[in-house]
Amino acid sequence: MTRRTALELLGMSATYTALVPGRAFAQAPAFTKGAIIRTLFKDYAPEDLAGGATLFHEHMSLAPDFMDKFRAASAAVRAMNAGPAGAGAAAGGRGPGGAPPRAGGPPPAATGPDPMRDVELMAEELATAKRDGVACIVDGGHPDMGRDLEFVRQASMKSGLPVVAGAGFYSQPYYPREISTMSESQIVEALIRQADEAPAGAFGEIGSWDEMTADERKVFRAVGKAHVATGLPIFTHTGIPGKAAIEQLDILEDAGVNPNRVTIGHLGNLVDPNVYVHKTICRRGAFVAFDRQGSNGDAQKVPLVMALLEAGFADRLLFSSDASRGYSKTLTVFLPKLKAAGVGDDVLHRIMVDNPRRFLAFVPRRPRKRL
């Protein structure tokens, strides 16, 4: 798959966009007056980012021990679900001998120098994504994940690729110790402070790990309230395939969030041919995320996407790769598989270019911090 094919697939061949700027598609989305997409360096009118795909969930910076923690927390859940003598296997869990569930998080780093530890390499990763047709990218990290915001700013500046920063608290294994004693309103204040400071363009990724813990429920309610105060959209992380997806949406909605401001994450991991949970979320008006694309696992995700398209939910889908390098693989690897399965270019354009802007655009309720 060449870059040129990827661009053509998105209906954005360089020649065409040069000749027909602002090419209008049949279902060009309409945005609320005053809505913006908040990147690290400026607020964009959503129309200004129509020239390429937006990847709504990637990572440019994480703590060096992020993946170690991730594996340890996943192993602990597996051991717990397996129970004595692997009893959990009968209840849908997987014993230690079974395939490890991919609970979430970016894929393990490939060999070679890690772009997360070298800003020049990261800027190159972003520049490559830009050449491949990416117009904007969201960093789904925040302080408890060890995201270094200055590093992300530098990489965005050097590459010229606009980056939306996330804000929030990740999930129980990563929370700062004080979360358990903080009141809900103290967490709301902390979230608003983070969002103002960055400045952030979304709350995410906001996660739960297995069964939602009391702290995770408290954080979700606080995120819902921080959304009401700021207008920032919310994207989530679900654990052991799709677990707590509905509960996450319930809590956010209960806190006053319109579901169309929410993306429930990692649902490509939930392999259910009937796509019941996916459809429930779509019907309630939230976005369903397939955000681990571009590998062998795609084979089982394509039929899920097809089932959702068949059911008429193209406007509720978001794709990204949750990667820490090689960001454009959603475009260059995953899209061709959908195209081969019969998905039209116009639909892929809507999913990659229009849907993320519909999700990210918000009318700010607080002013952008002046530098």
- Binding residues (CB under 5 A) for Zn ion: these are 140, 205, 322
Q: In the bound complex, what is the minimum distance in angstroms from residue 21's beta carbon to Zn ion? A: 33
Of the two residues 88 and 204, which places its CB atom closer to Zn ion in the complex? 204
Of the two residues 140 and 268, which places its CB atom closer to Zn ion in the complex? 140
- 246 vs 249: CA distance, rounded Å: 5
Longest dimension (CA), the chain: 66
- 145 vs 275: CA distance, rounded Å: 31
The closest alpha carbon to 172, from 89, 260, 72, belongs to: 72
Q: In the bound complex, what is the minimum distance in angstroms from residue 141's beta carbon to Zn ion? A: 8
Q: In the bound complex, what is the minimum distance in angstroms from residue 8's beta carbon to Zn ion? A: 29
148: which 2 tokens? Answer: 């270094």
Of the two residues 199 and 207, which places its CB atom closer to Zn ion in the complex? 207
* Structural Rg of the chain based on CA atoms: 19
The closest alpha carbon to 208, from 200, 199, 217, belongs to: 217
The amino acid at 276? Y
Of the two residues 35 and 156, which places its CB atom closer to Zn ion in the complex? 156
Q: In the bound complex, what is the minimum distance in angstroms from residue 342's beta carbon to Zn ion? A: 29
β-bridge mates for residue 139, sequence order: 58, 165
b/e sequence 152-171, b meaning 16+ C-beta within 10 Å: bbbbbeebebbbbbbbbbbb
Of the two residues 44 and 174, which places its CB atom closer to Zn ion in the complex? 174
- 353 vs 357: CA distance, rounded Å: 7
Of the two residues 156 and 263, which places its CB atom closer to Zn ion in the complex? 263
Q: In the bound complex, what is the minimum distance in angstroms from residue 35's beta carbon to Zn ion? A: 25
Q: In the bound complex, what is the minimum distance in angstroms from residue 301's beta carbon to Zn ion? A: 16
Q: In the bound complex, what is the minimum distance in angstroms from residue 351's beta carbon to Zn ion? A: 19
Of the two residues 137 and 343, which places its CB atom closer to Zn ion in the complex? 137
Q: In the bound complex, what is the minimum distance in angstroms from residue 30's beta carbon to Zn ion? A: 30
**Residue 107 to residues 59, 98, 263, 293, 353, Cα–Cα distance (Å):** 10, 19, 20, 10, 24
Those residues whose C-beta lies under 8 Å from the C-beta of residue 244, and which sit 6 or more positions away, are: 208, 211, 212, 238
CB 322 within 8 A of CB 291: yes
CB 91 within 8 A of CB 82: no
Of the two residues 9 and 198, which places its CB atom closer to Zn ion in the complex? 198
